[in-house]
Structure formats: C-alpha cells, structure tokens
Structure 1
Amino acid sequence: MLDFIKQDKDPVTGRVMRKVRSFVLREGRLTPGQERALRVLWPVYGLERAAGMLAYPTVFGREAPRVLEIGYGMGASLVEMASAAPDMDFIGIEVHRPGVGALLMAIEEQGLTNLRSYCDDAVEVLAECVPDGSLTRVQLYFPDPWHKKKHHKRRIVQPEFVALVLRKLAPGGLFHMATDWEDYAGHMQEVMRDAPGWENTAVDGDFVPRPAWRPETKFERRGARLGHGVWDLLYRKV
C-alpha cells in the first residue's frame, strides 16, 4: 500500500522527481480497528496498482455495471451506495490509510461483496489499472479545492485528467462531480466546457440537483443549515 510514494524516481539517476499531485498525505493515527482492517482485510478487499490491469470477473466474480469513486474519505457514502445497489460493482480510490481502514471495516460489517479499494494515486490507477471503456460512472465528490490561486495547478480537475476519465468510461457513461466551493465549481465548468466528448446533462444552467445515488453527508447537511452551497455537475460521454 502507498507504494506510489516510493516510485517517483528518475530510472537513470535515482533522484526523486518532483510531481504535481492533487493531494497531500496528512495521515492521522490509525485506530486499533483500522489497523486490524488494513492488516487482515486488505488482502481480501484491497487492490494493488502493481497487479496491473483489472480483470473484473476475477475481482468480483461477475460482469456488472461498474462505478469508480476517487477520494472517498472515510468511505461512509461509498459504502451506502454499494449497499443500496447490489447489482453494481464499486471501486474506491483513497490515499489516506485511516479512511481505507474505515472502509474495510464497513465492508466486513455489512458483508458487501461488490466493493473494493485502492490505496494509491487515482490518476495512476486510472491510467495503469482500469481498462478503457469499462466504467459506467466515475465519481469525484468534494475534492481538495486548493483555493489559493498559486495552488490551482494542483486541482485534480484539469484537461488531461478529464480526457483520461473520458477514455475509461463506456459510451454513455457518466462523470459526476460535486464541490462546496463555488470557485472550484466554476473551474470544473470551464474545464468541461472546453473538453471534447462530453455532454452536460443539466437541463437548466450548468448544474444538476443532487442525484439520488449520491448520499447527503452530515457535513453537507450542516453546511446547508449555515447557508453554504453545494454544486453537482453531471456529464455524459458522447
């Protein structure tokens, strides 16, 4: 797990190469339950980038519509989605081990067979492990907004990333983003507006009401009471 931290080296000089990432590893302490889950459950429900391209029938034992979520945090909403849609298979990607441990614990507690996780860089997992045209939906909920202008280059929603997502989606597949930063919502709009191959599903304006499949988080409900906005963007591969 977290092997990508060790892999950003020049193959000739051995020097660590600087790479712009959309995340920073700020890991808190693992609880005993999370530590146990990473030790005992990861071999069962964890996926490794080093294993290469996914063979879905091997991972899930079936063929089914597939949803991939990038940056699931502590995993509560992803677990809720997987539990509510047993006819679909879900893959999560998260770099913070406490969140991965919490997800593994929930998978065990609920007996879910349709949810697996990577603990790795999402861009590299998409590029190296996800077959082209194989996903029904890609989800990106509340990514780090990197609100300072000098850090905007770290935002994950960039033209190269959007093109990669497009390649991994099946025709008609959906790319669903949500953010509680209005400035980032505008940035997402601009990137998607300039990207070929997408259709905005919004009927009125650029945003859509929260789709039924995305659970409303406690943080989101608290923000709504305080008058904070949330913007959902939903695009279809054409």
Structure 2
Amino acid sequence: MARSCGYTPSFPMTDTQTPAEQQTRLRTIKSFVMRAGRITEGQQRALEQGWPQFGLELEDGLQDFDAVFGRSAPRTFEIGFGMGHSTLEMAAAAPEQDFIGVEVHRPGVGALLMGVQQRGLSNVRVYSCDALDVLRQCVADASLDRVLLFFPDPWHKARHHKRRIVQPAFAELIRQKLKVGGVLHMATDWEPYAEHMLEVLSAAPGFRNLAADGRWVERPEERPVTKFERRGERLGHGVWDLKFQRID
C-alpha cells in the first residue's frame, strides 16, 4: 500500500493561476514525502543485481520505451508503487503489457527488483526518483496507455491538502502524457481524498469519467487487492476507485 505520493510545496496553488503558471509551480514540488525505512540485505542485493537490467535513470532524459522494452506494447506508468506487490501481480498477469514503476524509497525498489528477478519478468522497468520529474523529462507526450496512482498519501489535515499530488496541474500533466483514449486510474481508502480526486479530475479539461454514475467505478479486476486493503475491508473500511479517460 503506497503512502509516498504527496506534494511538498513552497506556496499554495490557486484556481486563478494560468496553465503556464501551474506548470512552473509543478516544477517546484515533489510527488513524494521521504519516509524512513531500512533496506534488507536481500533488497540491497536485488538492487545491485537488478538495477543494470531493469533500472532507468532520470538523467538519461526522454526515452524511447519501444527500444527500452524491445517491442511496442500497451504501456502502464505507476506512480509510487510502494513495496511493489501490486506491480508484480499486474506485470505477471499481463506479460503482453509493459510497466514503468516509479518509487523513491530504496526498500520498495529493492523489493520490486527482487520479485522481478524471482519471477523472471521482462516487462518491468523502474525509476527511483520523483515521478513528476520522470513524466516531464523522460516520457513523451501521448505515449502512455495507463497511469496508476494507488493509495497516495491523503494528507488528512485541511492545512495540508495543498500537498496532495492530485491537483489541477497534475491532471494536466497526466493528460499530456496519456494517449487519447488512455486512462488515469486512481484508488484511495480515504473518502475525503476520493471526493477531492473526483472534484479535480471532473473539472480538468480533456477527461471523461468512466464511472456510470459519474463518481466511482467498481473495483477493477486488474487492480490487485493488497493485504492492507483486505485488513481494512475486515474492519469495514472502504476503497474508492476512479477512472478518467483522456478524450482529447
């Protein structure tokens, strides 16, 4: 369950900012908040052994992902994959698709690379840096089929809501990187954040809500259920999934 995606801004975003001003502001904020965590020997070994084959560097700039993966295939970009459990399940279940995961926390990157190597997967590549920087610098416009944002930090307190990753400028960046027809899939276990996501994406130009009722979709089969989510369901906690499709 990822809890690493949240803004750390130096000043609040307002609805009166122009798109250019919002893009400038997007360059000053991060898609994550650093969390403490110890890396195990196994995770460190997986990093050392797996990074040369599966790791990608921000400094390499704009990527030709067809060349990276050695094929042209449906492409999913996941923001903040946590410990990588869902990423591994999705990649193993859909070998005909390619997955690009971004996570700043070394234990999670190591855990994902360990799983990739153990399962013999070839359709996963990993960045270990800010996902917003990767989107801006490494991903061509209109090149992604899906963007996934599962269980980002909800920033519960009202004074921290401006730190949430889902903001108007974020929606516009995702729209630029998705193909027409591509989908942004978000999930959260915090209903007020789900309402916030719904409000932001409903107001964002170029998107269509795929929910029949204009709110949430039923939990898609392609999104794996985590242990944390199962525990939350036993305690009566809900999970809200949202899917928005780029229409222009």
- TM exceeding 0.5: yes
Query: Is 1:173 paired with 2:182?
Result: yes
Residue 59 of structure 1 corresponds to 68
SS, match of residue 44 in structure 1: helix
Distance 1:102 1:213 in 2: 21
Cα contact 1:182–1:231 (8 A) shared by 2:
yes
AA matched with 1:68: F
- Give the superposed CA RMSD: 1.2
Cα contact 1:139–1:177 (8 A) shared by 2:
yes
Query: Is 1:109 paired with 2:121?
Result: no
Q: Stretches of 4+ moved more than 6 A in 1?
A: none
AA matched with 2:153: D
Give the percent of matched residue pairs that are identical in Structure 1 and Structure 2.
61
Paired residue for 2:37, among 28, 34, 39? 28
Query: Is 1:40 paired with 2:53?
Result: no
Using structure 1 for the length normalisation, give the TM-score: 0.91
Residue 139 of structure 2 corresponds to 130
Cα contact 2:31–2:130 (8 A) shared by 1:
no
Query: Residues 197-219 of structure 1, C-alpha deviation per residue, up to 9 Å, x if partnerless?
Result: 00000012400011111001111
Residue pairs, 1:182-193, within 5 angstroms: 182-193=191-202
Distance 1:119 1:22 in 2: 12
AA matched with 1:222: R
Distance 1:22 1:123 in 2: 6
SS, match of residue 30 in structure 2: coil
Deviation at 1:153, TM superposition (A): 1.1
Deviation at 1:19, TM superposition (A): 4.4
Residue 158 of structure 1 corresponds to 167
Distance 2:162 2:178 in 1: 24
Distance 1:39 1:71 in 2: 21
**Which structure ranks higher in relative contact order (CA pairs < 8 Å, sequence separation ≥ 6)?**
2
Using structure 2 for the length normalisation, give the TM-score: 0.87
